[in-house]
A and B are shown apart, each in its own frame.
Chain A
Amino acid sequence: MTADSYYSQSSRRVGWVDFAIAGLLAGLIYALVTVAHEWGSPLQQAPVIHLEASYLPGYALLSLSRGVMAYGISFLFTLLYGYAMARVAGAERVLLPALDILQSVPVLGFLPGFVLGLVHLFPHRNIGLEMASVLMIFTGQVWNMTFSFYASLKSVPPDLVAVARLARMSWWTRFFRLDLSFAATGLLWNSMMSMAGGWFFLMVSEAFVLGDRDFRLPGLGSYMSLAIERGDAKAQWMGVLTMLGMITLVDQLVWRPLVAWSHKFSDEPSTGVTHSWLWEWIRSSRIWQATAKIVLSVLARLRPSAANKKASVHSPTEEVRSIPRWRKPLVITLVGTGITLGVVKYISLLATLSVHDWLNLLGSTGMTFSRVLAAVALASLWTIPVGVMIGRHPVWSRIMQPVIQMAASFPAPMIFPVVVGGLLAVGTGLGTSSIVLLLLGTQWYILFNVIAGCAAIPHELWEVSRLSRFSWRHRWVRLILPAIFPSVLTGWITATGGAWNASIVAEYMKYRGNTLSTMGLGAVISQATERGDFHLLAAAVGMMAFTVVVFNRLVWRPLSRLAQTRFSLET
């Protein structure tokens, strides 16, 4: 089962590729040392951030390290939570709604808890603050990955499960070679989206005011915040370019090779495969081949044959691992007590708010709600026609896909000030401008999905529409719109979720020494955080989560059902 013959087929060039990889490893070690140094240094609540260009690479490295660590945590969380949700009997009923609510809580909602708790835990070192920042990036990344993994686990083909059982695979083998392998493709695409989602709140995650304390961590996000606050246009440009460079680098060095590699997990014949220059080179380099060989042989040893033998032989219908019967009441009591306690605490926190506060909250919710809807509507207006145009032409999609992907992973809040500056100059207030900001952040999700949906329309249906001499209007109403509806819906759901979250940075910002704000739930959350008004913050975050969940239940869920039944392209 070794890969000997496979690797000996590819040429064994020892050349600059190997040197490059060695160099990369050296760089990685340097980066680790730098990051460790930053983490271990004494707590500096708000270190001086320098706007000179020479500091940018270091800042980018620090931000990247936070993103990567957050991703690592997201990945572990996804494996644990997703697996439990799909495979532990009864867990789904609790964990699925919990995940639904968690993902609707805006990133800032987690901030005070993380920061205050962790800074208390490590009062003298930077590590607490760093961890809080990482955890906030994590909350921007994790949820869609978890959902994807869960959905994959639920759809593992029963025949493959039967094969795994007949082969008496151990739990580990089965997890790696069946569950994780089957989920790999979906997990990878969602990882790319998650990384982008994490960058979205980079500025907030690295520089925030909590009550009377101003927290800053050296990084690209805090650099951008400062540049925007000071109105330093040159620094802003440099920051944006560095961010773009970092995203491109990660895309070329990490995601492309991974996507190329992940084709082996897909069932479809590999036509039109994403090519990665890096993957081709790495695969043919000596260092890689040697490493792969070692890893494979180690993996081959990891085969406790004794444990294997008893695995799953005695339970003919073993499917889900269930909690032992006697423990069930215990688990339910514990979880129940925890939830009750949390709810009581939360309500007592809210009890201090006045009627006026509540009315204000309701009004703000209404404002943000309309902005979110307006942004999604506006985004649909341009992305649907453009997306259909791109999706119909495979050549265009191939060219545009990477461009759009880059645009989507760029954190829109970094260019908010520039846009707002322009709009204010024309005479629009922040109330209206923030719609444009929400649009900037979320339109890509719709565009992506429209392109994918349109590309999936069977060729024959286009031909029928031509043969039946559909008018332009008919073609849209009878063919395109119904066919792309399921994908557009997915785009809408993601976009509205993103827009709610983005309202926090769109409705309230520091710009050229001034504070701009407009009435809205996002502004309330930002202000409450800054003032350290945790009662108001708790109420506002709860309000947002509640609105999002209710909207999901009342609007998106019935529409999804419709999409799956009436508008499914499978007949």
Chain B
Amino acid sequence: MYFKICLLFCLFSCGRLEYSPWSVDVPDTKLNNKNLYLISKQRQEYPFKVALLADPQGHIQDFRKQLELLNSRDDISFTVVLGDLTDYGLKEEFEWVLNASRISNAPILFIPGNHDGLANGKKIYKQMFGEYSYTFNYADHKFVMWNNNKLEWQGEPNWPWLASQLNSKSILMSHIPPIDDVYQSQEIKYWKQLMQDKNIPISIHGHLHKNMFWSDDIKHYVAPASVTSKYGLLTVEKDSTIVETCTKNGCIKE
């Protein structure tokens, strides 16, 4: 009998010991910085392709399958996950995404989504992935990764920062597209005017969970959520951009 009791206690003791669902004790990995370094070491030639994933929140299995699908291609220069890695901003949710992303053959970059700013998500995101907004160059193009989650981050969006980063070679990526109800119409008008004035080639987003493409004076693309098993594919040529939505059966040009 006592042996069985000891066995029972031993079985329990094989488990993890966690103190709080809201803890933020994550390793200081700053994954974006590491992958930006890998990207900077690539031969940066036109045309190049960027895989676009969005909103893996709670669908890690599908996210991993998307990465496996991308690994079967050899023409992806890097992958971008366009925010909403989590539903509740919990450490564990971030860890699931981080661990799943390790299988990616191509360097993978992240931007924060509105859900990632919940609870202690902002602190965890910064430690795991790095800065909320950042830029980098690839060939002659400039990628502007912009944290525009205005309700969850105090002081965002940083319009002067955005205005200072955009130019005619800037590809803008942010979680929230310029059509969402969290933005007031005046803000959207200003944002669109800014993109038009700078004559950027395309703006790319997540948040809406389904792929969308529209063009006013600027091309806009919304990448599908992981749960749809689709992904976006951006092909950048010296003077143009093409965007496609892909499944395991092939890609359709938008």
Query: Do A and B bind?
Result: no
Give the A-binding residues of B (Cβ under 8 A).
Answer: none
Give the B-binding residues of A (Cβ under 8 A).
Answer: none
